[in-house]
Amino acid sequence: MKNSLLKFGLPLLVLLTGLLAVRASGLFEQPHPDDRQFSQQVNLAMRQAADRLLDLAGDTTRTIPPVKEVGAGEYLLQLESQFSYDSLPRFLEAALAQHGIREKYHVAVLDCLENLLMLGYSKENVKEGQVPCSGRQPLGDCYNLSVSFPDRTAKTAGSGWAWWALANVLAVGALVYWVYKRLKNNQLEEKASMPSDFIENDALLRFGSTAFDPANLFLEIAGTRQPLTFREAKLLQFFVERPNQVLERDAILAAVWEDEGIIVGRSLDVFVSRLRKILQKDPSLKLANVHGVGYRLEVG
């Protein structure tokens, strides 16, 4: 299980993060039907306004090029002819209204060669009858007529940030979950590697003023948590389950070591010494040496 997580978990997480990032960038975005219809209506309105401007200038033969959508809510039409700037606001406003477009917009007249702003106004100026730069005619023979809709631009930008935030949250969540599962499986594997007779008892063993958790290898003693090694915990459990009894050395060795094919008499003394040092924090406990016989855990 552990190897499977290492082999497949991380690549899957990387793939998920990549897909979410791509999704956030808009590469998989499909235009909303309303957006497509809106673009078509803007295209028709701008071409209609341009046609009227050219007619007013006496140009009835020139072909009007297609409108380009240069960004979210931004449209550009190139006019290779002089036109009446004073007539542009009312022609464009009437064309947009005719095609059902009543959103706020900004208009800019740009030089074709360097794309420099020459004249411009907004929908609010038309409503108030105060279009800036009225009476001034653009100089030159080629202009880029730019119309942008700020509400559409802001909506698209906000949506992109929302997707990006969601992508990061999901990616981090997936990473946290993956790490959690790995740690959990490692703990289960370590627990499974212990002898079954030791891990079956998950209840706390209480003696004196001390609580012992044999499954998780720790003592609660004198208000502190004391971690134990596997061997220390197994030896202590043998004593705790037989309080105030004289336990022979051979019986202790057989219970704690012999099932693993290892019998080391000196090791018993070393581990008893460790436990005695830990248990001395609880004055109601004493791990006493019974000379020539073994040991006894005295619980007061």
Confidence at residue 70, expressed as pLDDT on a 0 to 100 scale: 86
Confidence at residue 196, expressed as pLDDT on a 0 to 100 scale: 39
Q: Hey, where are the domains in the chain?
A: 2-27+156-191, 33-148, 196-299
User: Does the pLDDT of residue 44 top 60, yes or no?
Assistant: yes
Complete edge-to-edge strand list for the sheet that includes strand 210-213: 205-207, 210-213, 218-221, 224-227
CA distance 187 to 239: 26
Q: Which CATH class is domain 196-299?
A: mainly alpha
Q: Nearest CA to 155 among 35, 9, 6, 22? A: 35
Between 26 and 246, whose confidence is greater? Answer: 246
Tokens of 273: 């010494």
Is the pTM higher than 0.85?
A: no
User: Does the pLDDT of residue 267 top 90, yes or no?
Assistant: no
CA dihedral 106, 107, 110, 116 (to 10 degrees): -30
Confidence at residue 60, expressed as pLDDT on a 0 to 100 scale: 78
Q: Of 10-14, 28-32, 170-174, where does mean pLDDT reach its minimum? A: 28-32
Tokens of 72: 């979210």
Over range 158-172, report the average pLDDT: 61
Question: Which residues make Cβ contacts (< 8 Å) with residue 263, sequence separation at least 6?
Answer: 253, 254, 257
Q: Nearest CA to 295 among 257, 264, 252, 255? A: 252
When mean pLDDT is compared over 18-32, 44-58, 140-154, 192-206, the highest value belongs to: 44-58
Over range 36-46, report the average pLDDT: 89
